[in-house]
Amino acid sequence: MMKQEVGKAAADLVKSNSIVGLGTGSTTAYAIEYIGKRLQSGNLKNIVGIPTSFQAEVLSKQYGIPLTTLDAINHIDIAIDGADEVDMQKNLIKGGGAAHTREKVVDYLANQFIVVVDAGKLVTKLGSVFAVPVEVIPMALTPVINSIKQLGGKPELRMGLRKAGPVVTDQGNLVIDAKFNDIPNPANLEKVLNNIPGVLENGIFVNCADIILIGEVQDGKSIVREM
């Protein structure tokens, strides 16, 4: 319910004649659904979406949102995406759905990036609950795992659910979930992780989010507030 409300609130921020980054995950899925409904009802006109994953592409097609690629456009007006953790400085951990690499490309390009979360995603210290997803090319798996250990992280290869073996990303790579007990400097860890040979991208997003929309229950009612 909270996810639905916050997804709808974000969808309402999309204006006609705009290019929209469409994020990944269960919360953004509601935003995509409502954008589709607004198009259908004529309340929203002439938008084109840039999907951040195969999931976003499938959902957008299902809800009738026309899509394009980054080759065909020169800017993104607004992007809507979920997050796994949000700290007070609007730093994020993303990639719970293994989509953080494409999400980072699209979300950073957007003039306005709206994050949609429920209140359970808010943390005082980034990394205190969630591990940092690190997308790695398959041949580099072992050296990257060793490098993460040297950085003080606890790396775990993400395994599939209802699929034997590891999760494979939309790019055909693997995901290591790296748990750090403390991330004193998220911007620095983002750079250090991306500097390990064989790492494609990690899920720390710094200086990217403009608006955080938070869904929560107050007095038994679902409400949406801005951070």
Contacting residues toward ligand R5P, per CB under 6 A: 23-28, 81-84, 94-100, 103
226 is known as an active-site residue: no
Do residues 43 and 12 make contact, with C-beta atoms less than 8 angstroms apart? Answer: no
Q: Nearest distance from residue 150's CB to ligand R5P, in Å?
A: 26
> Catalytic one among 103, 135, 190, 201?
103
Do residues 53 and 102 make contact, with C-beta atoms less than 8 angstroms apart? Answer: yes
Task: List the strands of the sheet with 211-218, edge to edge.
Answer: 48-51, 19-22, 76-81, 110-118, 211-218, 221-226
Residue 78's nearest CA partner among 134, 135, 28, 143 is: 28
Q: Nearest distance from residue 4's CB to ligand R5P, in Å?
A: 11
Do residues 177 and 158 make contact, with C-beta atoms less than 8 angstroms apart? Answer: yes
Do residues 26 and 47 make contact, with C-beta atoms less than 8 angstroms apart? Answer: no
Q: Give the residue at shortest CB distance from ligand R5P.
A: 25
Could you say which DSSP state residue 203 is in?
A: S
Q: Nearest distance from residue 207's CB to ligand R5P, in Å?
A: 17
Q: Nearest distance from residue 27's CB to ligand R5P, in Å?
A: 3
* DSSP bridge partners of 223: 216
Between 4 and 142, CB nearer to ligand R5P? 4
Between 107 and 180, CB nearer to ligand R5P? 107
| Known binding-site positions for substrate | 24-27, 81-84, 94-97, 121
Between 16 and 226, CB nearer to ligand R5P? 226
| Known binding-site positions | 24-27, 81-84, 94-97, 121
Beta strands in the chain (DSSP E): 19-22, 48-51, 76-81, 85-86, 92-93, 110-118, 132-136, 154-157, 174-179, 199-202, 204-205, 211-218, 221-226
Between 120 and 197, CB nearer to ligand R5P? 120
Q: Which residues belong to the active site? A: 103
